[in-house]
Chains A and B, each alone.
Chain A
Amino acid sequence: MSVTINFKNTIKKYGDVAVINDLSFGVKAGEFFTLLGPSGCGKTTILRMLAGFNSIEGGEVLIDESVINKTSPHKRNIGMVFQNYAIFPHMTVYDNVAFGLKVRRFGKKQIQQRVDEILKIVQIEKWKDKYPKNLSGGQQQRVALARAIVIHPKVLLMDEPLSNLDAKLRVEMRVAIKKIQNRIGITTIYVTHDQEEALAISDRIAVMNTGKILQIGTPEDIYMRPVDVFVATFIGHSNIFNAKLVVEDNTSNVLFKDGYRVRLSKMYDESQAIRVAVRPEDLILNTNSVGLKGKVILGTFLGQRINYEILLDEGSSVLVTQDINNLERIIPGGETVYLSIGAEERINIFDEAGNRNLILKENNYDGKKS
């Protein structure tokens, strides 16, 4: 019953400027698919092309097998949840949710039954007769969600739906959204700039920048094997080192600036200048003179872990995270420490420009691979 969505060589222009150029990707039936990227990267534009609020200047957008480029937005049967909820302030919760059913000419009984059912699912049946202004942000968000899914749309679109909520509610709501989506099994496209939210909620994520999709994959894939330096630094934190890949004597090694060497298990063809991305949790602090030498600038105690900002002798500043369980003491500022790589398979190696992950065979994001 769920549908697939396909963008084929899609183009969006504002005047003569193409903000989305020749973009293709596919969303599987029933999938929770997230467009993630910094603001202005074009993710909302894509969502609005699908919803019909932005015109499409080239290519095709398909829901299942049918091209929807020319379908009026009110005939697309797409449920949309807006960033500011867009709840009708002059209607009660019940009327808001029933709004889309009324135009579909359902009988009164049927409307009532479906509204009640959906209100129960999103857990706001208590607020049925209230006006939106008497609801909290989280409750309004649930109304918006209920209103979008009660019409049994083919596709559910959500445009930064949690960005107006406070941090705690955001986490609570994203769990709720994920559960409801699971239960209904509707194909969903979700837009956010919050990488943590994207990792937590998605089946697959498309990471975008400047109108292009850089990588599509499961949250684990993208976190573990980012395709380029942008993705590596945008998703979670990565420390980026300029280094050399040295291939000699049937071994491949990463040679850091100050002479620290890490042997790789994978073989490479030739020596070259590279950039290495290492997550803060993959750097191990030691005082045994192993690894990169540096000085602690500041340790920040965060409860479960401690973040250290460390200025390396080679000149760059890095972030290291230490789990509270491995803690012997909090290292004071000014002390000299050494940083070694914990597990070589967890680091990522990019070409000198930072555009290609040398560990991955190809930067393929057509969605079929995973």
Chain B
Amino acid sequence: MVKKANLDFWLIIKIVLFFLLAFFLVYPMFNLFKGSFFDVESGKFSLEYYKEYFSRSYYFKAFRNSMTVSSLATLLTVLVGAPLAYIMTRFRIRGKRFLAILIIISLLSPPFIGAYSWIMLLGRSGVITKLLSYIGINIPSIYGFKGILLVFVLKLFPYVYLYVAGALKSIDSSLEEAAESLGSTNIRKIMTVTFPLIMPTMLGGALLVFMTALADFGTPMILGEGYVTMPVLIYSEFVGEVGGSAGFASAISVLLVLFIIVVFYLQRYIVNKRTYEMSALRPVEARELKGSKKFFAYLYCYVIVGLATIPQIVVVYTSFLETNGPIFTGGYSINSYTTVIRRMGDSIQNSFIYSIVAVVIMIIVTLFISYLSVRRKSFSSNMLDTMVMLPYIIPGTVIGITYLITFNSRPLILSGTAAIIILSLVIRRTPTIIRSSTAILYQIDPSIEEASISLGYHPAKTFFKVTVVMMLPGIFSGAILAWIRSICELSSSIILYSGSTKTMAVAIYVEVIRTSFGTAAAISTILIGSTVIALMLFFKLTGREEISL
């Protein structure tokens, strides 16, 4: 039985995957949904939580805050990132490769590092604040809306940069040359040819910025001081000292997720209608600039990348300062490191173990799911693929409370264990690898597998001996990115951790809240160091010095 022999193996895999997804994704999400509609004490159906949300302006304000800061951040990242991408791809800039790597490093380093570095510089007792007030200048407060916006823009413009730079590189020079030979001026050419071609990609990057900003927990938590955003509201309502309510937090989460799904599909609908498949045989060559144009181009690139890199530099620098609690006592030492290793060695170990285990599981799940969705196309395979992609757009905070609500009781009690953190990482970051993995599989001709089968290898054996072996190098690069994301993860672990399962990201957050900046900087430096090493490995594996997200 041709069909049956293949089906048996893949049918089992499919059933197992469905079961896992049902249990670790659908069931928790359903629980969240249910929890928002049923009163905790009476267990009766009620719309009380939703009523409460809409009746108090304080709660609705969080939504408005989230929207304002995320939309503005999106707009500004486009205004900053798109010109940067244009200048860096179209003109000759010395140190371009170095700048590009710095941009990627700043994108991939832990998200909340930006927030607390800027506090150290511009906060109430920040270095720059003090320096300026010494000479009589008072700068506006970094806390609240402005600070969050600043950190978001500097942290997230790399998304727009990477997307737009990728699109610009895929435009064949003949297209722009055609426009020129037809008599278009430079500006006209950019507006009528270049810009429309990169528009869909730019929108894709902008959406990613919007989603990330909307879901970000660490930055508004550290910098907000009263400027409450949705993830912060969900978190504080859930763990709140003044009687946290799981039901109410669930209701807010449901609203947030519904909103994000609408935005996501709307964007996809708009972008899909006008995406252009392009691949440049001959990309546009970078030109040499002259005079003041050259000066401003260099100034722009170096200032922007410099600003984006400041948090990393500040963190690494301060990690070597002698401290006493929040006070830098002057002089250099490695005391912060010895303290960290003595007191927080567990967290470092945890982070590495969890993220590595999570990535291994992700790779296995990804191999199976992408094979099913590419080679065994069917309604159910497609559904698997859609389901596994869903957490891509769900904020980490929501996943965190969803998991804690669900796995706090039978049939499976996982709260406080390492398993719950690992599972949440797998659920959240698998989408990062899946897309690249499916892309690779599309490039492998099915006849290679057929050749193996006709040479006598059972389809299952063929999968492991041929398909997997050929996919692995490609999957590895995706896995490294997923690993970096996992080891820096804060928003769901902050909800799921217990004393013994604290991770580095959580430890940094706790130290920052305790204003123990020296130790925070030391752990952050270890974290940044790990991601940079991973990134170098990624570059070496892919042979390129760029990433696609």
- At the interface, yes or no: A72 with Cβ under 8 Å from chain B? yes
User: Does B177 lie at the interface of the complex (its beta carbon under 8 Å from any beta carbon of A)?
Assistant: no
A245 to chain B, nearest CB (A): 49
Instruction: Check if B445 sits within 8 Å of A51, measured CB to CB.
Output: no
Chain B interface mostly helix, strand, loop or mixed?
helix
- A211 in the interface (beta carbon within 8 A): no
A56 — nearest CB in chain B belongs to which residue? B2
Q: Is the CB of B456 within 8 A of A103?
A: yes
Contacts of B456 in A (CB 8 A): 74-75, 77, 100, 103-104, 151
Q: How far is the CA of A78 from the CA of B466 in the complex (A)?
A: 19
Contact status of A51 and B454, CB under 8 A, knowing A83-B447, A88-B466, A90-B469:
yes
A76 pairs with B454, CB closer than 8 A:
yes
A window 78-127: CB within 8 A of B: 78-80, 82-84, 86-90, 99-100, 103-104
Is B1 close to A, CB under 8 A? yes
Which of A72, A73, A88, A100 is B448 in contact with, Cβ under 8 Å? A88
Verify if A52 is at the interface (C-beta below 8 Å from B): yes
Do A72 and B2 form a contact, CB below 8 Å, given A88-B466, A100-B456?
yes
Which residues 441-487 of B have a CB within 8 angstroms of A? 445, 447-448, 450-459, 461-462, 466, 469-470
Task: Output the least CB separation between B453 and chain A (Å).
Answer: 5
Q: Tell whether, in the assembled complex, residue A80 and residue B2 are in contact, meaning their CB atoms are under 8 Å apart.
A: no
The answer to whether residues A74 and B1 also contact, given A83-B447, A86-B448 and a CB cut-off of 8 A, is: no
Q: Mark B210-243, 1 if CB is under 8 A from A, else 0.
A: 0000000000000000000000000000000000
Closest-CB distance, A326 to chain B (whole angstroms): 48
A86-B445, A88-B466, A90-B469 in contact; A74/B459 too (CB < 8 A)?
A: yes
**In the complex, chain B residues 283-336 whose Cβ is within 8 Å of any chain A Cβ:** none
Measured between beta carbons, the chain B residues less than 8 angstroms from A144 are 451
Interface of A is mostly: loop
Cβ 8 A contact of A147, one of B5, B451, B461: B451
Picked from A76, A77, A89, A99, the residue with its CB within 8 Å of the CB of B452 is A99
Contact status A78-B445, CB under 8 Å = no
Residue pair A73, B2 in contact (C-beta under 8 Å): yes
In whole angstroms, how far apart are the Cα atoms of A296 and B196 in the complex?
Answer: 53
With A80-B451, A84-B445 given, is the CB distance from A103 to B2 under 8 Å? no
Residues of A within 8 A of B450 (CB): 51, 53, 73, 80, 82, 86
Question: Does B3 reach chain A (CB closer than 8 Å)?
Answer: yes
Give the bracket for the number of chain B residues in contact with chain A: 20 to 34
Residue A218 lies at the interface, judged by CB distance under 8 Å to chain B: no
Number of contacts between A and B (CB, 8 Å)? 76
Residues of A within 8 A of B452 (CB): 88, 99
Q: Which of A164-203 contact B (CB under 8 A)?
A: none
Of residues 28 through 65 on chain A, the ones whose CB sits less than 8 Å from some CB of chain B are 51-53, 55
Contact between B455 and A70 (Cβ–Cβ < 8 Å)?
Answer: no
Selected from B1, B451, B469, the residue in CB contact (under 8 A) with A72 is: B1
Question: CA separation between A88 and B468, bound complex, in Å?
Answer: 12
* Shortest distance from the beta carbon of A40 to any chain B beta carbon, whole Å: 18
- Give the residues in chain B near A73, CB-CB below 8 Å: 2, 450, 453-454
Q: What CA separation (Å) do A71 and B3 show in the bound complex? A: 10
Neighbouring B residues of A148 by C-beta, 8 Å: 454-455
- Complex interface residues of chain B between 2 and 22 (CB less than 8 A to chain A): 2-3, 5
Query: A90–B453 Cα gap in the complex (Å)?
Result: 17
Please, which residues of chain B bring their CB within 8 A of the CB of A151?
455-456
Q: Whose C-beta in chain B lies nearest to the C-beta of A70?
A: B1
Contacts of A70 in B (CB 8 A): 1-2
In the bound complex, CA of A197 to CA of B455 (Å):
27
Tell me whether B457 and A103 are in contact (CB under 8 A). Answer: yes
Q: Return A118 CB to nearest CB of chain B, in Å.
A: 13
Tell me, in angstroms, the Cα distance from A83 to B447 when the chains sit together: 9
Q: Is the CB of A55 within 8 A of B3?
A: yes
Partner of A74, one of B447, B448, B458, B469: B458
Smallest CB gap from A52: residue in B = B2
In the complex, chain B residues whose CB is within 8 Å of the CB of A78 = 454
Q: Given A52-B2, A72-B1, A73-B2, answer yes or no on A86-B455 (Cβ-Cβ < 8 Å).
A: no
Q: A131 → chain B, closest Cβ, in Å?
A: 13
In the complex, which residues of chain A have a beta carbon less than 8 angstroms from the beta carbon of B459? 74
Which B residues are in CB contact (< 8 Å) with A90?
Answer: 469-470
Chain A contacts for B447, CB-based, 8 A: 82-84, 86
Query: Please, which residue of chain B has its CB at the minimum distance from the CB of A82?
Result: B447
Bound state CA distance, A148 and B450, in angstroms?
12
Across the interface, which residues of A come within 8 angstroms of B1, CB to CB? 70, 72
Residue of B nearest to A151 (CB): B455
Closest residue of B by beta carbon distance from A103: B456
Mask of B417-457 contacts with A, CB within 8 angstroms, 1/0: 00000000000000000000000000001011011111111
Per the 8 Å Cβ criterion, residues 140-168 of B in contact with A are none
Inter-chain contacts of B457 with A (CB < 8 A): 74, 103
Whole-angstrom CA separation of A370 from B458 in the bound complex: 39
Query: Which of A52, A74, A90, A151 lies at the interface centre, i.e. has the most chain B CB atoms within 10 A of its CB?
Result: A74
CB distance from B476 to the nearest CB of A (A): 14
Nearest CB in chain A: distance from B449 CB, A: 8
Determine the residue in chain B with the shortest Cβ distance to A153. Answer: B454
When the two chains form their complex, are residues B451 and A86 in contact, meaning their CB atoms are under 8 A apart? yes
Question: CA separation between A74 and B457, bound complex, in Å?
Answer: 6
24 A-B pairs in the complex with CB atoms less than 8 angstroms apart: A52-B454, A70-B2, A72-B458, A73-B2, A73-B453, A74-B5, A74-B455, A74-B456, A74-B457, A75-B456, A78-B454, A80-B454, A82-B450, A84-B447, A86-B451, A87-B448, A88-B448, A88-B452, A89-B470, A90-B470, A103-B455, A144-B451, A147-B455, A151-B455
Q: What would 14 more interface pairs be, CB under 8 Å, given A53-B2, A84-B447, A87-B448? A: A51-B450, A53-B450, A72-B2, A73-B453, A73-B454, A74-B456, A74-B457, A80-B451, A84-B445, A99-B455, A103-B457, A103-B461, A144-B451, A151-B455
Residues of B bordering A, CB below 8 Å: 1-3, 5, 445, 447-448, 450-459, 461-462, 466, 469-470
- Those 8 A-B pairs whose CB atoms lie nearest each other, nearest first: A100-B455, A86-B451, A86-B447, A82-B447, A72-B5, A80-B454, A103-B456, A86-B448
